[in-house]
Amino acid sequence: MPLDKTAIETLRQVSTATITTVLLKKGLRNVWLRGTKPLRPEQPRVVGPAFTLRFVPAREDLATPASWASPISTRAAIEAMPEGCVAVADAMGVTDAGIFGDILCARMVKRNVAALITDGVVRDLAGVLGTGLPVWCQGAAAPASVTGLTFVAWQQPIACGGVAVMPDDIIVVDSDGAVLIPQALLDEVLAEAPEQEQMEGWIMREVDKGVPLPGLYPMNAETKARYEAWKK
C-alpha cells in the first residue's frame, strides 16, 4: 500500500521516541522492535510501509542451498517488494546466521527498497555496507541463513523483535531503532506527533534557561498557558 508523500515527510521530521510517546497515550506499549540497531552510524531516519518476511527454525530437508532457487525464497520475495517499502524480517532473534548478504541487498537498492529491518543479522558486512542500503539489525555473522533458519513466506503477519508486525504497518526507524504505527492510527499520529515534537522542543529550551522540571515536564496549567502563548 503506497504511503502518501506528505505523510512520509511529516514522519521524517518526528523521532521514534516521540512516536512511542504518542502511541503510549493511545494505550500501545509494544511498538518498538527490539534488536533493530543501525548497522552504520548516522543512518538517516527512514519511513515506509512494512513488507514482511518470515523465517522459521532451520529444518535440514528445507533449509538447503537449493532452496534459494525455490519459488518461495528470499530472492522471489525481493522481486515482489514495491518501491519505498521497508523490508521487515522476522529472524526470531537468531544471530549466528545472516539472513541477507551483499548481493540481495544490492538488488533491494535497485528496486528502491527504503531499508531492511530485522531482529537477526546480515552477512558479507563490508559488501552490505557498500550497497548503501540502510540496515537495522543485531550485527553480522558469516554463516548463511540456511544454517539456522528456513524462509517460508512474505507479506504475512510476523513477530519481529517481540512486536506483531502486519503487512503495510508504517515503519519509522532512526538511531533509536524501529517503531511501527498501525495503519488504523496513522492519521492520529500524523496529527499529534508534530505537536508533541514542538512541545518537547519548547520544554528543552526552557530547561536550557534553567527552569526546574516540576510543573514543566509534564506541564502544569501555568506552563501550558505559557506554551500556548508562545505558539501564538
- Report cis status (omega within 30 of 0) of the bond before 57: no
> pLDDT by residue (tens digit) across 151-190?
999 999 999 999 999 999 999 999 999 999 999 999 999 9
Say whether pLDDT at 119 is over 70. Answer: yes
> pLDDT by residue (tens digit) across 39-54?
999 899 999 999 999 9
**Amino acid identity for residue 148 in this structure:** G
pLDDT, residue 64, reads 82
**CA within 13 Å, CB half, 70:** 14
* Residues 78 and 107 sit within 8 Å (Cβ to Cβ): yes
The b/e string for 207-231 (b: 16+ C-beta within 10 A; e otherwise) is eeeeeeeeebbebeeebeeebeeee
Which H or E run contains 164? strand 163-165
pLDDT, residue 69, reads 79
Q: Domain limits of the chain?
A: 5-183, 188-231
Mean pLDDT of 89-104: 97
- For the record, the C-alpha cell of 228 comes out as 500556548
Share of the chain above pLDDT 90, in %: 91
For the domain 5-183, what is the CATH code?
3.50.30.40
How many angstroms from the chain centroid is the CA of residue 108?
A: 16
pTM here is 0.93
- For the record, the C-alpha cell of 45 comes out as 531516519
- For the record, the C-alpha cell of 217 comes out as 515536564
pLDDT, residue 151, reads 96
Which H or E run contains 50? strand 46-57
* Residues 13 and 174 sit within 8 Å (Cβ to Cβ): no
How many Å apart are CA 32 and CA 163, to the nearest integer?
Answer: 7
How many Å apart are CA 75 and CA 106, to the nearest integer?
Answer: 12
Q: Which residue has the cell 488504523?
A: 184
